[in-house]
């Protein structure tokens, strides 16, 4: 079974609108972390936001927020007030095991977001 599933290969959003990128995960470990990274066409991987499995509140970082629904095992990324520069590939990733461990990230297949002017 896939550990990270991103069901939207491509998404379009109008500039200044909000958009939600879906991510579901699968783990039996009670301790895990969820991450979102942005990969523009230039190729680098840019960290956006993090949510720990024990965090009570949804993470927010500027225009990015993570809609964490633990019972549904979903960690959707919400981008508010989209900008043209938000056009990129977005990856959801998970680290299983306690925070601070050396465990690797497992990535989803990504969602290509295009912001339309």
Partner 1 sequence: EPEVTQTPSHQVTQMGQEVILRCVPISNHLYFYWYRQILGQKVEFLVSFYNNEISEKSEIFDDQFSVERPDGSNFTLKIRSTKLEDSAMYFCASRDNVGDTQYFGPGTRLTVL
The residues binding partner 1 (CB under 8 A) are 33, 35, 37, 42-47, 50, 52, 91, 93, 95, 99-100, 102-110
In whole angstroms, what is the distance from residue 51 CA to residue 116 CA?
29
Least distance in angstroms from the C-beta of 28 to partner 1: 18
Are residues 75 and 68 in contact, defined by beta-carbon separation less than 8 angstroms? yes
Nearer to partner 1, 42 or 56 (CB): 42
At 18, list the tokens: 């909000």
CB atoms within 10 A of CB 21: 23
CB of 57 to partner 1, least distance (A): 16
Question: Considering beta carbons, is residue 66 or 110 the nearer one to partner 1?
Answer: 110
- We find the least distance from the C-beta atom of residue 6 to partner 1, in angstroms, to be 9
Nearer to partner 1, 43 or 117 (CB): 43
CA dihedral (25, 31, 33, 34) in degrees, to 10, reads: 20
Rounded to a whole number of angstroms, the minimum distance from the CB of residue 87 to partner 1 is 17
CB nearer to partner 1: pick between 79 and 92: 92
d(CA 49, CA 35): 6
Judge contact between 77 and 21, C-beta under 8 A: yes
């Amino acid at each position: 079974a896939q550990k990270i599933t991103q069901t939207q290969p491509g998404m379009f959003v109008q500039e200044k609108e909000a958009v939600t990128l879906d991510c579901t995960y699968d783990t039996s470990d009670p301790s895990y972390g969820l991450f979102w990274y942005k990969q523009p066409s230039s190729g680098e991987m840019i960290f956006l936001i993090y949510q720990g499995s024990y965090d009570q509140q949804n993470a927010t970082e500027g225009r990015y927020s993570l809609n964490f629904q633990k019972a549904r095992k979903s960690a959707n990324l919400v981008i508010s007030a989209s900008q043209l520069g938000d056009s990129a590939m977005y990856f959801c990733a998970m680290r299983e095991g306690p925070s601070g461990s050396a465990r690797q990230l497992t990535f989803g297949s990504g969602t290509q977001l295009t912001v339309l002017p």
